[in-house]
């Protein structure tokens, strides 16, 4: 990678699950480099959702390298997820027609609850999972999938962990790591945000900053997608033999399942 940057650059892994992110340094100047990052990074940059995209280069191998401005920032703390600024940014993302149009032009089909359930059942059979809690929650997803209604789909981040939110020295807020983004019901992101970080007595206030009302439909959809997401995480970790993580996720699933007071 140093070859196309030129002489005098030091390139080091930046961590992360994919191993495709790097920090490039030349004296006091730094860049964030990523291989094969999200193809709509330019739109995210233009809308101020991620640090500024500086350039893009396609290598002879076909890989695409992007360079973004390095920010002297910090990850948000879990308690900061309650701030009105996170609600406002997530609202801007979900209401971005530019992001949605680009994602659709790339051929990405919206996440369909029926297909989600079908795919999870295939994996459950493949891995021969017989856990009673997982199967009971799958039964809930199956029974209620047709009650979700027709939501106005948006580009959803899909992993709103506080480690993916960053604030720089100028107090600008960013949401990074868009590799798992999809077109989906915004309740996917909202459910993960609220169930993970926001005490239930503050849900209505946080959603008011986002621009939504905490009604029966949204509560049910958020619960459905959090259950589905947690089971998907269980299956992903199971497929990789990460069974200690599977057990932790089962505890999370039990907690989420206990919050079901608005289904059939």
Catalytic residues: 159
Phi, psi of 34, deg, nearest 5: -140, 140
Neighbours of 180 (CB within 10 A): 11
In terms of C-beta density within 10 A (0-12 exposed, 13-18 middle, 19 or more buried), how is residue 261 classed?
exposed
Rounded Cα distance between 20 and 53, Å, is 16
Using CA atoms, how far residue 151 sits from 11, 183, 193, 251, in Å, is: 44, 11, 18, 29
In terms of C-beta density within 10 A (0-12 exposed, 13-18 middle, 19 or more buried), how is residue 37 classed?
buried
- β-strands 53-58, 29-35: how paired? unpaired
DSSP string, 190-228: HHHHHHHHS-GGGHHHHHHHHT----HHHHHHHHHHHHH
Rounded Cα distance between 19 and 85, Å, is 30
Point out which residues pair with 166 in neighbouring strands: 75, 174
Token couple for 129: 């999972």
């Amino acid at each position: 990678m140093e070859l196309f940057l030129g002489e005098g650059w030091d390139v080091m892994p930046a961590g992360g699950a994919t191993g495709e992110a790097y920090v490039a340094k030349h004296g006091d100047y730094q860049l964030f480099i990523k291989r094969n990052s999200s193809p709509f990074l330019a739109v995210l940059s233009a809308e101020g959702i991620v640090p500024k995209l500086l350039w893009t280069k396609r290598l002879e191998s076909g890989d695409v390298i992007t360079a973004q401005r390095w920010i002297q920032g910090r990850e948000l703390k879990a308690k900061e997820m309650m701030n009105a600024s996170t609600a406002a940014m997530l609202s801007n993302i979900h209401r971005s027609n530019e992001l949605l149009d680009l994602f659709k032009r790339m051929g990405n089909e919206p996440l369909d609850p029926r297909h989600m359930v079908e795919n999870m059942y295939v994996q459950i059979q493949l891995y021969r999972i017989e856990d009673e809690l997982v199967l009971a929650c799958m039964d809930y997803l199956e029974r209620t999938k047709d009650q979700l209604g027709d939501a106005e789909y948006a580009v959803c981040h899909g992993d709103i962990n506080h480690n993916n939110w960053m604030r720089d020295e100028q107090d600008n807020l960013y949401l990074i790591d868009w590799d798992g983004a999809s077109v989906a019901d915004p309740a996917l992101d909202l459910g993960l945000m609220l169930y993970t970080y926001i005490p239930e007595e503050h849900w209505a206030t946080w959603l008011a900053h986002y621009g939504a009302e905490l009604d029966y439909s949204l509560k049910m959809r958020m619960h459905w997608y959090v259950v589905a997401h947690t089971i998907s995480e269980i299956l992903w970790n199971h497929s990789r033999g990460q069974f200690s993580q599977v057990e932790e996720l089962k505890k999370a699933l039990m907690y989420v399942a206990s919050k079901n007071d608005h289904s059939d």
